[in-house]
Amino acid sequence: MARQASLSGFTELLPAERVVELHVLDSLRRTFELHGFSSLETRAVETVGSLLQKGEIDKEVYAVSRLQADEDERGGRTDPQQLALHFDLTVPFARYVVENAGYLAFPFRRYQIQKCWRGERPQEGRAREFTQADIDVVGDGELPFVYDVEMALIAAEALEALPIGDFVIRINNRKLAEGFYRGLGVTDPAAVLRAVDKLEKIGEDGVVAELVETGGATEEQARAALRLAAIRTPDTGFVEQVRALGVEHPLLEQGLTELAEVIGLASRRAPGRVVADLSIARGLDYYTGTVYETVLVGHESLGSICSGGRYDALAVKGDRRFPGVGLSVGVTRLLARVLAQKLATATRPVPTAVLVSLADEDGWAAADDVATLLRARGVPTEVAATAAKFGKQIKYADRRGIPFVWFTTTDGDGVRHEVKDIRSGEQVPADPATWAPPADDLLPRVVPGT
Amino acid sequence: MARQASLSGFTELLPAERVVELHVLDSLRRTFELHGFSSLETRAVETVGSLLQKGEIDKEVYAVSRLQADEDERGGRTDPQQLALHFDLTVPFARYVVENAGYLAFPFRRYQIQKCWRGERPQEGRAREFTQADIDVVGDGELPFVYDVEMALIAAEALEALPIGDFVIRINNRKLAEGFYRGLGVTDPAAVLRAVDKLEKIGEDGVVAELVETGGATEEQARAALRLAAIRTPDTGFVEQVRALGVEHPLLEQGLTELAEVIGLASRRAPGRVVADLSIARGLDYYTGTVYETVLVGHESLGSICSGGRYDALAVKGDRRFPGVGLSVGVTRLLARVLAQKLATATRPVPTAVLVSLADEDGWAAADDVATLLRARGVPTEVAATAAKFGKQIKYADRRGIPFVWFTTTDGDGVRHEVKDIRSGEQVPADPATWAPPADDLLPRVVPGT
């Protein structure tokens, strides 16, 4: 990662780094499939009209048009039919659900692991091309609340399986915050959410000032909002702390019940991995209930590596409403940190476990027969391309990170097979029909970094 | 696939179709890794200058520019720095090799499975967004010829493992054809290659006419070129047939030797899967030695589903030349036919093998404990979201294609677990800590279509 990308914001990995990325992607896929999510991909392009319909005009989208098209065929920013690359996987998935509703069985569970693109200025944790790994459950008309609990459990399990160290999933609930503000008598709860979201940036007094000046709140209301935002518990203790603030509202009650159910069940299954964090405001403007975000402990500055929440209407088709709850893992963001700080590394950059050496140029077919026997038992194997001196063939294996070299020699006693572990130098007789490397050497593995 | 894509040329699969695609991708990956190829991905965008440098001006590339950029920041077709989506994986890989040569061990073997985009008019076998699966071996300065043999073997093995029925890999050699034409005394071998490439379209007389009129060939030379193109043998018999035509040239000799080596070794390992086909001219203009293409038997009209060849200079960096040999599987093209004609189908659209039912709403945590035990042994499991009547929960499983439903009941005798195969109706006692479904039901499988 010390290398400079030749196009800023478009990272390309080296083979050993890609082994770590593949490990992360395979692991996420496995967890998602164990929980019954179907794989899905959507096309890379959407119409600008579809991408920007949620008013996300601040997103820097990449427009796409045929290079040989006439200038007037290349729509401008005002043409809703102009094609553009998707900037997340939620908007394309919502469109897919509407288009294919007749072919899907609801509640529909899908995972989607794809590249996304944003034209924003690149910085650590923010690339122009990046991979997201999303899961969503979407219902037709209704979607039981228990899926909100399930999402937190899956997130904990999925992240637990990654080589990323400690993490905390912070959970809040839009109804809780909005109900609290309404109970306080605030006239514009959305403005309070926006102001509280700036807490880390502008501090408590800054938030109070903003709320009083532009949020239509009294100083007392503003201070109460900050007291709410200060609550953070690893269990359902937050309920009592909120009640102690003396604010009442039916929406607040509903939010407390929901958040308590998520935190209660999730902290039972994954103790220490979840906290109720009432300071979380990000996403509260578009999510309608539970919201999740996740930080790597010791890497909080990286921002959230797994975020999501509940939408009352993820998609709408005429009268039909499709509520959803989901999560998105920022694979590229996560990986950038893992690779830069060597939190995890690959045991080798190539899949190859064995190089079958060549004693002479005519021996290639026989060597390939040995390789075929090894591969038939799942051992990744290459055949040397030239009958260079054995020392040179061993050096080739060493340079590429291949741990074993196979030697076949023919003399008066017939054909003799031997295999050398070039790390230890140990060389032993071996039968190509039965030999296998130690399990740890079969495939590249990802291990904690040094 | 009977559904209409909402954007022409941008196909999106349904979950059961995606199971088939994933199976194809996983299978290709497995074969490639068994042969020692490292996974790699390149960014989706290249500069127009890089994409079009091989003179591929006929390719309809998609330009990419920030929607909010000023009009003059959105380069026109004359700006070589304009970004565009890659239309294949060879051009990006060549750039990657040049940029990262200092970090790679040569010969470098990589596979790359990614989307590509072309703005051409969509038709069967030609989408605007499509997935290619490429392998290449690239050397630094030199690359032994035996890799040309290896490519054919890997192609046969990789395609053999796919649910696509019978296929034939047709192999030719640029040196053979060019040497033959030179030996004939033709002044413009490239023109002959182009004319012979139209054989199927315009017929023998058409090719002769074109060669005589614009190729600078005599009718006799043209007829000889056609006799060469008529040669097709499943073994090295082509060598004798070419010699019988009485043409001599050193380049022809070299081509005969190379093609004989590829066909000889490949027909030994994969009998019936390869033919020497001297009519193949496509690609001979940019490949410099061996060329491969592959047809599905009975689906020849689909075009080649796996093509490639040898480049003397896949990439160039100053004085440094990187020769390569590789193959590209047209996954989307292949899959379109497999799905449209139901050559293969998925046993179910969801990964889920078991739905753990809910006896009452308070039972979710206990049901999730059962699910956790099953998942720990690799059994994809969901938990029902509501304690509806069991009949309704079974119907939900049936609708989603989940084969087993788990029941937990508590009575005076304690907790009793049972699992029902909802296809047969058979219900048996089961222990969540040890029970597993039959191997065929563990994961969705891909089976020959009906």
CA distances from B114 to A129, A349, B87, B200 (A): 14, 20, 11, 31
CA distances from A8 to A3, A116, A120, A127, B70 (A): 11, 15, 11, 8, 19
Binned at pLDDT 50, 70 and 90, residue A413 comes out as confident
**Tokens coding B389:** 């009547």
Comparing CB atoms, the residue among B18, B60, B65 nearest residue A39 is B18
CB-based contact A34:B380 (threshold 8 Å): yes
Q: Which CATH number fits domain A354-448: 3.40.50.300, 3.40.50.970, 3.40.50.800, 3.20.20.60?
A: 3.40.50.800
Task: Tell me the C-alpha distance between A234 and A275, whole Å.
Answer: 4
DSSP-derived secondary structure for B239-257: HHHHHTTT---HHHHHHHH
Q: Which of B7, B25, B39 to mutate to test the interface with A (most CBs of A within 10 A)?
A: B39
Binned at pLDDT 50, 70 and 90, residue B67 comes out as confident
Give the pLDDT confidence of A179-215 residue by residue, as tens digits: 999 999 998 888 888 888 888 889 999 999 998 988 7
**Tokens coding A410:** 């023919």
The CATH architecture that domain B15-41+90-345 belongs to is 2-Layer Sandwich (3.30)
- Nearest-CA distance from B188 to chain A in Å? 31
Task: Tell me the C-alpha distance between A87 and A85, whole Å.
Answer: 6
**Are A378 and B34 in contact (CB < 8 Å)?**
yes
Task: Tell me the C-alpha distance between B89 and B328, whole Å.
Answer: 8
Task: Tell me the C-alpha distance between A242 and A184, whole Å.
Answer: 13
Comparing CB atoms, the residue among B62, B95, B144 nearest residue A67 is B62
**What would the mean pLDDT of B42-68 be, rounded to a whole number?**
82
Comparing CB atoms, the residue among B43, B349, B382 nearest residue A129 is B43
pLDDT at B216: 83
Contacts B144 to A, Cβ<8 Å? 385-386
**B344 has which bridge partners?**
B448
**Are A3 and B82 in contact (CB < 8 Å)?**
no
**Tokens coding B8:** 């022409």
Contacts B41 to A, Cβ<8 Å? 12-13, 18
**What would the mean pLDDT of B275-300 be, rounded to a whole number?**
91
- Reference B102, options B140, B137, B134, B135; nearest CA is B140
pLDDT at A2: 53
Give the pLDDT confidence of B20-45 residue by residue, as tens digits: 999 999 999 999 999 999 999 999 99
Helices B146-160 and B15-34 pack at an angle, to 10 degrees, of 150
pLDDT at B190: 85
Give the pLDDT confidence of A215-230 residue by residue, as tens digits: 788 999 999 999 999 9
Task: Tell me the C-alpha distance between B325 and B142, whole Å.
Answer: 11
CA distances from B265 to A43, A75, B83, B180 (A): 41, 54, 43, 23
> Is the per-residue pLDDT at A67 higher than 90?
no
**Are B144 and A65 in contact (CB < 8 Å)?**
no
Q: What is the rounded average pLDDT for all residues in chain B?
A: 92
Contacts B402 to A, Cβ<8 Å? 36
Return the minimum-mean-pLDDT range out of A35-44, A246-255, B215-224, B255-264.
B215-224
**Are B14 and A150 in contact (CB < 8 Å)?**
no
ipTM of this complex > 0.90?
yes
Q: Specify the higher pLDDT residue, B214 or A342.
A: A342
CB-based contact B20:B335 (threshold 8 Å): yes
Task: Tell me the C-alpha distance between B123 and B132, whole Å.
Answer: 17
Return the minimum-mean-pLDDT range out of B92-101, B214-223, B250-259.
B214-223
CB-based contact A345:A351 (threshold 8 Å): no
> Is the per-residue pLDDT at B71 higher than 60?
no
> For chain B, first and last CA: distance in Å?
16
Output phi, psi for B151, to 5 deg. Answer: -55, -45
Give the pLDDT confidence of A75-92 residue by residue, as tens digits: 555 677 889 999 999 999
Indicate if the alpha-carbon torsion angle B264, A356, A16, A19 is positive or negative. positive
CA atoms within 13 A on the CB side of B151: 37
Q: What is the rounded average pLDDT for all residues in chain A?
A: 92
> Is the per-residue pLDDT at A113 higher than 90?
yes
Give the pLDDT confidence of B152-164 residue by residue, as tens digits: 999 999 999 999 9
Give the pLDDT confidence of B337-370 residue by residue, as tens digits: 999 999 999 999 999 999 999 999 899 999 999 9
Q: Specify the higher pLDDT residue, B192 or A72.
A: B192
**Are A365 and B268 in contact (CB < 8 Å)?**
yes
- Reference B222, options B206, B246, B244, B201; nearest CA is B206
Q: What is the biggest distance separating any 2 CA atoms in chain A, rounded to whole angstroms?
A: 99
Contacts A18 to B, Cβ<8 Å? 38-41
CB-based contact A274:A148 (threshold 8 Å): no
Output phi, psi for B89, to 5 deg. Answer: -110, -5
Q: Which of A18, A34, A153 to mutate to test the interface with B (most CBs of B within 10 A)?
A: A34
Helices A174-184 and A250-269 pack at an angle, to 10 degrees, of 150
Comparing CB atoms, the residue among A38, A43, A402 nearest residue B10 is A43
**Are B349 and A147 in contact (CB < 8 Å)?**
no
- B128, closest residue in chain A (CA to CA): A43
Contacts B3 to A, Cβ<8 Å? 100, 103
CB pairs under 8 A between A and B: 227
**What would the mean pLDDT of B208-219 be, rounded to a whole number?**
88
Binned at pLDDT 50, 70 and 90, residue A1 comes out as very low
Return the minimum-mean-pLDDT range out of A300-309, A336-345, B192-201, B333-342.
B192-201
Task: Tell me the C-alpha distance between B436 and B426, whole Å.
Answer: 15
Comparing CB atoms, the residue among A12, A35, A119 nearest residue B42 is A12
- Nearest-CA distance from A35 to chain B in Å? 5
Binned at pLDDT 50, 70 and 90, residue B1 comes out as very low
CB-based contact B149:B78 (threshold 8 Å): no
**Are B382 and A109 in contact (CB < 8 Å)?**
yes
Contacts B268 to A, Cβ<8 Å? 365
Contacts A380 to B, Cβ<8 Å? 33-36
Residues of chain B with CATH 3.40.50.800: 354-448
Task: Tell me the C-alpha distance between B425 and B331, whole Å.
Answer: 39
Residues of chain B with CATH 3.30.930.10: 15-41+90-345
